[in-house]
Homo-oligomer: A and B are copies of this chain.
Amino acid sequence: MPARGDLPQMLIEAGLAILDEEGAEGLTLRRIAARAGVSHAAPAHHFNGLPGLRIGIATQGFQDFRRELIATRDAQPADAGAFQRLLAVNLTYIRFARRHTPLFRLMFDQLPTQDPDLRSVARAAYVVLQEHCQPFVRDREAAPFETAVWALTHGFAMLNMDQPYPPESPVQVSSYEDALRLLVG
């Protein structure tokens, strides 16, 4: 929650709210500023224009994303198996994309900007997934397997986000478990 007077954080929160409520098209500098109760030129003093503000919003998005992944991990029962843990975390990944589709798109659209803070929190979110792959690495190398699991999950999230495609054989969340099982062998 933004402290009153902490305008940068208030602008980011306003941006997140607009993304969830109105989608990516509503995310204009002037509307963000209006929602935060300041003039349209105020953001310029804290961010490098709209591009900078978008990076800030994406950074906050990755932090929230990571927090949800961690919350899912910590909510697993003590006797949960390694596969169930990996599955639960990855399903949170997929559901986050579905629940916050415009934000999710923005997050990964902003990654190429190479902003240090953004890279850092994005990396931290990935580590949560990565550590759940550990039990399945066995004799093979870790990196290629982790990459495969990540790509499968991210692809599933992307294709499941907006609508089933192709319509005749939809990418349903319910079929992700089977897909993941194919991969872990």
What residues of chain A have their CB less than 8 Å away from a CB belonging to chain B? 105, 108-109, 111-112, 114, 119, 122-123, 126, 143-148, 150-159, 162-163, 165-169, 171, 175, 178-179, 182-183, 185
The reply to whether A122 and B165 contact each other, CB–CB distance below 8 Å, is yes
Q: How far is the CA of A145 from the CA of B158 in the complex (A)?
A: 17
Kindly identify which residue among B144, B159, B175 contacts A178, using a CB–CB cutoff of 8 Å: B144
Which 10 pairs show the lowest CB-CB distances between chains A and B? A155-B155, A148-B179, A151-B155, A112-B162, A154-B155, A151-B156, A123-B166, A144-B178, A152-B152, A112-B163
Q: List 24 A-B contacts (CB under 8 A).
A: A111-B162, A111-B163, A112-B162, A119-B167, A122-B165, A126-B166, A143-B169, A144-B175, A144-B178, A145-B182, A147-B169, A148-B178, A148-B179, A150-B155, A150-B159, A151-B151, A151-B156, A151-B159, A152-B183, A155-B157, A158-B158, A182-B183, A183-B183, A185-B185
